[in-house]
Amino acid sequence: MNRYKLTIEYDGAPYAGWQRQKDQPSVQGALETAAAAIDGAPVDVYGSGRTDSGVHALAQIAHMDLIKDIRADKVRDALNFHLAEAPVTVLGAEIVAQEFHARFDATAREYLYRIIDRRPKLALERGRVWRLPVKLDADAMHDAAQALVGKHDFTSFRDKQCQSKSPVKTLSELTVSRAADEIHIKAKAPSFLHKQIRSITGTLAEVGIGKMTKRDVADALAACDRTQCGPVAPPEGLYLVKVSY
C-alpha cells in the first residue's frame, strides 16, 4: 500500500466546503469518489485543513492510501480523468512515507484574499473576488493589519461555530497591498480559526473605507468580543495559496 501526497486546485463555489458532507457536495467527497474508482475500494482523503463553502484553493495538500501499486503521475492523471466534470484538479501526486500526514505535519498555511474596489459590476471575476464599489486605502489597511500580527486571543475574529479548542493563534504575517484595481490581503500562520481571515478582511475593509482606525482594530482584538469586529467578508475572495511542511 502506497501513501500519496496530492496538490490540489479547486473552485469552491459549487461545494459546501472541503469536508465530506452527507447531503451536500464537497471537495473531499469528489476526490474520494475519484480515488475509489481507481482503487476499486473506498478511499479516505485527508486534507491539510478545511476550507469553508465557496472558498477556493490554489494548492491544497492532501494525502491518501491506495491498495493498488500505481505510479504517482498515473494517479494524478487517473484522478483528473474521474474529476473531468468537477472544478477540481490534481496538480501533482507523489509517493511519501507512511508517517506523512497532510494536516498534522503542516507547519504553516498561507491565504490570499482578493478585493476589487470599483463601482462597475464584475463580469469576468464574478465569484472569484469581493467587489466593493468604493476605493480603499490599502496603506491604512496594511498599517492597521500590523496590530493583529503575533500571538493573540482572536476571539473577536472567531466564528461562533468554531470548534478550535483555543482562540489563541499566532499570525506570523499579515500584509495588504494594491495590485492595479485589486487589494490583496495575505495571511500566514501555523493554523487559523474558523472564518478568522474573513473576519479580519471585513474589519480591514472598514479601515480602508475610513469607518475604522488602527486603534479601533487593536481595541477590537483586545475586547475578545465577536461583536467588535467588522462584517465578515464573503468566501469567494479567499484562496488557500500554500501549505508548508
Active centre residues (catalytic): 52
End-to-end CA distance of the chain: 23
Name the grid cell of 220: 477590537
In angstroms, the Cα distances linking 49 to 41, 59, 145, 190 are: 24, 12, 24, 11
d(CA 186, CA 165): 25
How many angstroms separate the CA atoms of 188 and 131, rounded? Answer: 23
Residue 133 has phi, psi (to 5 degrees) of: -80, 10
Pairing assessment for the beta strands 130-132 and 108-117 based on DSSP bridges: parallel
Separation of alpha carbons 11 and 27, rounded Å:
9
CA dist 205 to 8, 65, 82, 135, Å?
29, 42, 40, 10
CA dihedral 85, 88, 91, 94 (to 10 degrees): -100
Sign (positive/negative) of CA torsion 196, 4, 32, 66? negative
